[in-house]
Amino acid sequence: MARPELGTVTNLKDSSKVRWLFIMPTLFIATLIAQIDKSSISIVMANHTFLKDMGLVNHPAIVGGLVSAFLISYGAGQLLWGPIIDRIGPRRAAMLGVTLWAITLIWGGFSYSALMLYLSRIFLGLSEGVLYPVCNAYVVRWFAIHERGRAQSIWFNGATVGSAVGGALVTSIIISLGWRPAFFILAILGLVVVLPMLLFLTKDDPTQHSRVSKHELKIIEQDSTLLVTPSDKGSTILVNYKYWLLVISLVANNIFFWGWSSWLPTYLMNTRHFSFKSAGGMTALTFALEVVVVLLLGYLTDRIRRRAPLGALGFLIAALGVYIGGSILNVPLAMGIMIIGVSCQQACAGNVQALLHSFSGKQFMGRAAGIMNGVGNIMSFLAPTIVGLMIGLNSSSFSSVMLFLSIDLLVASIALALLIKSKYWILEE
């Protein structure tokens, strides 16, 4: 179907906002539901009935390995999906990925052994690997460069909100129905919510969408405001050591995120003495408070137009917050400081995704995002297992874990700080 002629735009009322009203909500909801799928295991593995059913009581390293198994396949999946997205487009790739991940969640719900559950998490990771490369591919096609800090913060906040909602939702399902129904309900959400949104609300390119006005298309095509021009050649991007500094920053971020979020409920229950229900609520609150910080940094990076300096500062604050908060005995004060630190970390993770658009153009974005996020997850897949081993070796103490995670965030800060001099900036209009 040909795109209708919309005439000359004379005022803002003639300008559509398809990118904000159709594309962005779809990416946000898809990321939200996928994050609940990913992080649900951290709630499940703190449930004693689950541990008993799977024969995993007093085996923290094996339990942590459930997350690690997902992460390595999740990283491999992103590497595989990158070229597929560039070839068939983000819409069809996303629809295929959603269908596959729903099937693997159903498989997980029917698991009656640790091996079956491990395999289901591996295939879930391969399926959900489509998400971050797809979101970056949509953003580079649908948003002007000076909008991408906000755009990236919104869809990336789907992961933040998903972690918040997931903590309360999965906890409630487990308490009410048991841990198996949690997997089935999450599979249904992907099929009845995400899939129809992708089908009916999105297109691969704004020129294919009948609701996009000429004025909106003109805004989207304002892509010449970067001081350093992005490339569509893999030979240029992949040999640029500065691209790999960005990857290092993401690797360090992911080590923290998966090492921390996988064991957060256990930390709250065993170290801070929260109940199972209140631990789920505190986990949800922690992620909920991150939403504001993620949006704020996205807005500031578009406004101030200096993404690397803000990211380096944010990771530094995160490192200090986690270390200081983990060292304080007063629970309310400790949790307050740690929440500030973790909020900065999550905001900076979204900023790394936005910085990627300073390196890659539209034609290579699926692969550039797939490689960056794939390597980021593969290199961090052992984080939950390492944290589990550290807990076991230190008689369930988290003190060494906090030091390890703080140093890790400092590495992320240094990697972005090294990009400041290169001026991956957005020029003033």
| pLDDT of 12 | 45
Read off the amino acid at residue 425.
W
The ranges assigned to domains in the chain are 17-205+214-422
Structure tokens at 271: 């170290």
On the CB side of 215, how many CA atoms lie within 13 Å of its CA? 12
Query: What are the pLDDT digits (tens) for 365-410?
Result: 898 899 999 998 888 877 877 887 887 777 667 778 888 889 999 9
The 8-class DSSP code of residue 213 comes to -
Given a contact cutoff of 8 angstroms between Cβ atoms, the answer to whether 331 and 272 are in contact is yes
Which CATH code, of 3.30.70.260, 1.20.1250.20, 2.30.30.230, 1.25.40.10, is assigned to 17-205+214-422?
1.20.1250.20
How many whole angstroms separate alpha carbon 284 and alpha carbon 13?
Answer: 39
CB burial of 28-57 (b: ≥16 within 10 Å; e: otherwise) equals bbbbbbbbbbbbbbbbbbbbeebbebbebe
How many whole angstroms separate alpha carbon 170 and alpha carbon 113?
Answer: 21
DSSP secondary structure, 279-344, as one string: HHHHHHHHHHHHHHHHHHHHHHHHHH--HHHHHHHHHHHHHHHHHHHHH---HHHHHHHHHHHHHH
Mean pLDDT by 10 residues, the chain (429 residues): 41 71 96 88 79 77 76 90 94 96 91 85 93 94 88 90 81 87 92 96 93 89 57 73 91 88 72 68 72 84 81 91 84 82 86 84 86 88 80 73 90 92 56
Query: What are the pLDDT digits (tens) for 182-215?
Result: 899 999 999 999 999 999 999 999 999 989 998 8
| pLDDT of 284 | 67
- How many Cβ atoms are within 10 Å of 267's Cβ, its own excluded? 23
pTM recorded for the entire structure: 0.81
